Structure 1
Amino acid sequence: MSIPAVSSVSPAELEARLRLHRLPELGPARFRKLLEAFGSASKAISAPASAWRALGLPQVCGEARRAPEIRDGASHALAWIERQDQHLLMWDQPDYPALLAQISDAPPLLFVAGDPQILEKPQLAMVGSRRASRPGMDIAAAFSRSLAGAGFVITSGLALGIDAAAHQAALDVGGRTVGVLGTGLENFYPQRNRRLADAMIASGSAVLSEFPLDAAPSASNFPRRNRIISGLSLGVLVVEASVASGSLITARLAAEQGREVYAIPGSIHHPGARGCHQLIRDGAVLVETIEHILEALRGWQQLPFSTETLATVTSHPLLVLLHAAPHTSEALADASGWTLPKVLATLTELEMDGRAVCENGRWFARVS
């Protein structure tokens, strides 16, 4: 028996789903098992304990379902989704992200702050080290700017380091970005990125979590949320990561989900490059410029850019360099072999056309 697809649920069914969602040791597979067995969360909640035991569910699940704290948590969530820009998406509803719904362990419920409609737009995930090097942060920002400018939503985990750089860079060019938390939306972690998350929500982007609103940081939650980052996305770009990084977990999940995996190489002497090199050895696409990503995805039916955009991105020699990493004018002259006056004149033209921007003495590519 499968879960029936419905366009809406009753208030009682919604409250019952929120109660099930808070039960200990009840993940997506067991949540689905209950709905398949009883036909609805309402019937599951009211079923006798023997029926729950017959399904092989942990005893703690059945015992907790009528606890006051479970009811109170569901009531609080009902009040939360009544507020502006706060939403609940359910896996049998038409507004649930289509790509995410394809994975085997899709979250039954998603709490979303911001605009949930951007979850249906083409997304690319960018992940990497929390202790990223400055060059790694610069590369993440440059790629995020270019990809967001090309029409992609940039998805990441709102962690320190590469994640934060990718989110912020997308906002800097007026793009959209999605942050997936490993905690509840009312128990934000890390707090240092709270202001960034607020800016994302205010600008029409989104922050989401599969966990109850008050869920605290837990080591097991962060690998679990990584499947959502990859599941929402057409592909995952790993910018800088050690071999033991959570970013490699995201990349592995992406490959298992049939998503593209990209990795940016680095120095053989830099520990933060070893994870990317391992991914490349395992079959990830080696990425040096945005062209490598756009080419790999050009066959996707929902691509937000045309072949003309691709040609624009890849045909201008200075833009090719800027898509790989931000440069000073002098560095562009060295890398391109052009004279500095020619570089400066060309950069002025690109800036006037909205295709490049200068910040703090360094130039960044921007695709409109």
Structure 2
Amino acid sequence: MIERDELAAWLRLVDTPSIGRQTARRLLAAFGSPQAIFDAPAGARRELLTPAQAEALGATPPSLDALASATWQWLKADEAQRHVITLGDPAYPRALFETADPPLFLYAVGRVSLLNAAAVAVVGSRNPSPQGAENAHNFASALSRAGLTIVSGLALGIDGAAHKGALGNAGSTIAVVGTGLDRVYPKRHLTLAHRIAEEGLIVSEYALGTPPLSPHFPQRNRLIAGLTRGTLVVEAALQSGSLITARLALEAGREVFAIPGSIHAPQSRGCHALIKQGAKLVDSAADILEELRLEPIAAAATSTAASPDGDPVLAAIGFDPVTLDALSARLGWPPAELSARLLELELAGEVARLPGQLFQRLVRA
């Protein structure tokens, strides 16, 4: 566990105004540690800094004592589960260290060994279709069973489905969040966050008490991409954080995978754009394992293709959302009889009812 004086020095370095991550890493490369930076003669520091930066570094941030005390108490309250992992710490994730902009340190709760496990990010829309949520859950489950750790951002929608699919399997899951670890955002994922902390890992680069501010989430996305060997985008609009994560993954030299969807669905347009730009189209977890040169798993557990069945309603729905009237016309069934059958299929988990009186077939990924 980090010593209290060392912790305070790291917090001071990060909390100093006008000292960004790049400047801090340059100072660390020159002096070796935060404490050595502050112990060095001011003249030695000035050689690497602007006058304003040098002046800021010479002053102790007024909030430092309170922040250091609160962080130390947080760590001591559960030493087995809570960690601060700094650059140079053996537990610091090597994949993240090799990116262009690694964080100076990470706050973590849970199994820190997962930081250096083979991992894949699963990201996508906060408002997915029922099929998209199902795909995220089942792809994550299959990949986690194959030993890959699933990394996502604890957001509503695809992120939450991916975390839930990965939990309980060999690879488990990492949630990268944009708040301090004494907060859970969104609140609806409080129970999920507690389960991830117990069975997987939650990490953040933000200090305790940090609220969910908008600029933090694009920054958080670079960690999701950087921790992994590849990023799977399940569903995404053309303007979305998921596409930011995919771009960051490409910039970090990682693979990008995308699941295709209906040409009529807004949630599929981001995935289709990625595929046009060279992302690998995948329709099974086995595709991802093959691309990453990992052992394949049983096709039955990874395929998204529907198994043959003789239900005329499922066959008539196909794989795009459809209205009741259109489905009635395809089948020639009376609306009342068709509605009753759709309700049976909905209760069986075979069909989802969408806004606007649309129905969509669910496929087990």
Quick check: 1:146 aligned with 2:142? yes
Matched residue, 1:200 = 196
**For residues 171 and 329 of structure 1, what CA distance do their matches in structure 2 show?**
34
* 2:70 match: 76
Q: Given that residues 30 and 57 in structure 1 are in contact (C-alpha distance below 8 angstroms), is that contact kept between their aligned partners in structure 2?
A: no
- CA 1:57–1:250 in structure 2 vs 1: closer, same or farther (change >3 Å)? farther
CA drift at 1:174? 6.6
SS in 2 for 1:81: helix
Alignment of 1:241-252 (within 5 A): 241-252=236-247
Q: Distance in 2 between matches of 1:34 and 1:233?
A: 27
Q: What is the distance in 2 between the residues matched to 1:68 and 1:158?
A: 32
Q: Residue 91 of structure 2 contacts residue 115 of structure 2 at CA under 8 Å; is this kept in 1? A: no
Match of 2:21 in 1: 28
Q: Say which of 27, 32, 44 aligns to 1:39.
A: 32
Question: Are the equivalent residues in 2 in contact too, given 1:130–1:161 (CA < 8 A)?
Answer: yes
Secondary structure of 2:298 counterpart: helix
Q: Secondary structure at the match of 2:291?
A: helix
- CA distance 1:11–1:325, change in 2 (3 Å): farther
Please give the TM-score of this superposition, normalised by the length of structure 1.
0.78
Say whether residues 1:66 and 2:35 are aligned partners: no
2:94 and 2:308 map into 1 onto residues whose CA distance is 38
Alpha-carbon contact 2:85-2:105 (below 8 Å) kept? yes
Which digits, 9 at most, give the CA deviation of each residue in 1:264-303, with x for residues without a partner? 11111111111101100110000111121111011xxxx4
Corresponding residue for 1:110? 106
Judged with a 3 Å threshold, the aligned counterparts in structure 2 of structure 1 residues 209 and 320 are, in CA distance, closer, same or farther, namely closer
Indicate the residue corresponding to 1:228 in structure 2. Answer: 223
How big is each residue's C-alpha offset from its partner over 1:194-253, in whole Å with a ceiling of 9 and x where there is no partner?
221101112x20000011122222221111111110111110000000111110110011
Q: Name the SS of the counterpart of 1:112 in structure 2.
A: strand
Q: Percent identity?
A: 42
Output the CA distance in 2 between the equivalents of 1:327 and 1:59.
69
Residue of 187, 197, 208 corresponding to 1:191: 187
Moved over 4 A (4+): 8-11, 46-54, 172-175, 323-331, 362-366
- Figure out how many residues of one structure are paired with residues of the other and give that number: 321
Structure 1 spans left out of the alignment, 5+ residues: 1-7, 336-359
Give 2:355's aligned residue. Answer: none
Deviates more, 1:61-70 or 1:157-166: 61-70
Amino acid at match of 1:104: A
Letter of the structure 2 residue corresponding to residue 217 of structure 1: P
Q: What SS does the corresponding residue of 2:207 show, helix, strand or coil? A: coil
How large is the Cα RMSD of the aligned pairs?
3.0
In structure 1, how many angstroms separate the alpha carbons of the residues matched to 2:291 and 2:172? 22
CA contact (8 A) 2:2 2:84 kept: no
Cα displacement (A) at 1:97: 1.1
1:295–1:334 Cα change, 3 Å: farther
**Does 1:313 find its partner at 2:298?**
yes
Match of 1:269 among 258, 264, 268: 264
- The answer to whether the Cα contact below 8 Å between 1:142 and 1:169 also exists between their aligned partners in 2 is yes
Q: 1:257 to 1:16 in 2, by over 3 A?
A: same
- Aligned mates of 1:327, 1:16 — CA distance in 2: 63
Residue pair 2:134, 2:364 contacting (<8 A) in 1 also: no
Normalising by structure 2, what TM-score? 0.79
Deviation at 1:93, TM superposition (A): 1.5
**Structure 1 pair 25–186 and aligned structure 2 pair: CA distance change class (3 A):** farther
Equivalent-residue separation in structure 2 for 1:117 and 1:68 (angstroms): 35
Is the Cα contact below 8 Å between 1:121 and 1:153 reproduced in 2? yes
Please name the residue that 1:171 is paired with: 167
Q: Secondary structure at the match of 1:111?
A: strand
Q: What CA distance in whole angstroms lies between the structure 2 residues aligned with 1:115 and 1:36?
A: 29
Q: Describe the shift of the 1:220–1:57 C-alpha distance in structure 2 as closer, same or farther (beyond 3 A).
A: farther
Instruction: Give, in angstroms, the shift of residue 330 of structure 1.
Output: 5.5
Instruction: Indicate whether 1:130 and 2:126 are aligned.
Output: yes
Q: Secondary structure at the match of 1:68?
A: coil
Aligned to 1:349: none
